[in-house]
Amino acid sequence: MHRNVLVCVTQQKTCEKLIRQGVELTMEHPGKLYVLHVVNENDKLLNNFSDGDALEYLFEITKDVGAELTVKRSKDVIKTVVDFVEEMMITNIVLGSSRSKDPANDFVTKLQKKLPDREFVL
């Protein structure tokens, strides 16, 4: 079975671990590995890093594992991720934990509702 894996990254601390999970998924079945970082238009890239350092860090990790890195700015992060998933025919999505106290407002929950036919790795 062909498998296109998307790793959604946010904070620098966890993204390397998430990308390695994506690598493992692509080793099991042929396919492509994509890494996507969507920044809310008002936020800094990867929180506490300068934009240049953050991009360099992500670029190095993705290059090391042969993944394709995409960075987007958006007002609607969920819609941007959903559009990317559909455009790239993603089958599996690797996400870190989201920290919302309200489950109805949780990023992962919202994404799973919009993409019910995709497999999520949390």
Interatomic CA distance for residues 50 and 119, integer angstroms: 33
Centre a 10 Å sphere on the Cβ of residue 15 and count the other Cβ atoms it contains: 22
Domains of the chain (ranges; CATH) run: 5-121 (3.40.50.620)
End-to-end Cα separation, the chain, in angstroms: 21
Give the chain's largest Cα–Cα span: 40
Interatomic CA distance for residues 37 and 81, integer angstroms: 9
Q: Per-residue pLDDT tens for 5-29? A: 999 997 666 788 999 999 999 998 8
pTM of the predicted structure, to 2 decimals: 0.88
Q: Per-residue pLDDT tens for 94-108? A: 998 766 666 666 888
- Report the alpha-carbon angle 108-113-116, nearest 5: 105
Asked which of 17-31, 34-48, 63-77, 103-117 is least confident by mean pLDDT, the reply is: 34-48
